[in-house]
Structure 1
Amino acid sequence: MPETDTDSLTDVAERLFGAIECGDIAAVAQLFSPTVAVWKSGDVRDNDHARSVKIINWFITTTTDRRYEILDRQLFGGGF
């Protein structure tokens, strides 16, 4: 993957998780592509944009303190 793609994906990842930590659901919705496909443990299918934003909104509204520590981030063509 070209370095510029890696830099762009890393930037989006940092902004996305920063928005979640700050509780900025509008930024999360904007950072998710309209064609996003999000998978989480326990799902039998990917979640689309609306469902993914709804899940993150639930997480933000039911937690008071959010912090992400990157232990391993896998980048691939078009996502992370």
Structure 2
Amino acid sequence: MTIEELADRFFMAIEAGDGGTVRAMYADDAVIWHNEDRTTQTVDENLRVLRWLSRTVAALRYRDIHRIVHDGGFVQQHVLTGVLTDGTELSIPAALFVTVTDGMICRIDEYADSAHLGPLYAIAARGRAARMQ
């Protein structure tokens, strides 16, 4: 599979909520870093977030995709869109720098426009508050 095919399959799996396919594309020791909280996730932590995203956002889609493939991976700029469970429309501009080794995703550095993450944070906070009651 080419890097371009890997990238297409990866984002299609996320849109479909197919965690098994996403997991199979990650190297066992892959790490995923996010600019908004400057933390690094393990594969399992990232899959938990993606499962939550799949449950929380309907019609999850990557739009306006601009991708540059190179020997060690790819860079992708996109807008993540969808509709939250409360009806709020979501539109998050982001860019990912993805390192690929031996056909497996080894590292993702994700830069999301934090000004557009508020609706997701609000839904997450309501979920945490409900679990504490």
Identical amino acids, percent of aligned pairs: 24
Q: 2:13 aligns with which of 19, 23, 47?
A: 19
Q: Which runs of 5+ in 2 are unaligned?
A: 75-97, 99-133
Higher relative contact order (CA closer than 8 Å, sequence separation 6+): 1
Alignment match of 1:33 (pick from 23, 27, 30): 27
Total equivalences in the alignment? 74
1:2-54 Cα distance to aligned partner (Å, 9 max, x none): xxxxx722211111110111111111111122111112231323211111111
Counterpart for residue 66 of structure 2: 72
CA shift at 1:75, angstroms? 4.0
3-state DSSP of counterpart to 1:27: helix
Q: Which has the larger radius of gyration?
A: 2
Structure with the bigger percentage of helix: 1
The CA RMSD over aligned residues, in Å, is 2.0
Is 1:54 the counterpart of 2:22? The answer is: no
- TM-score, normalised relative to structure 1: 0.73
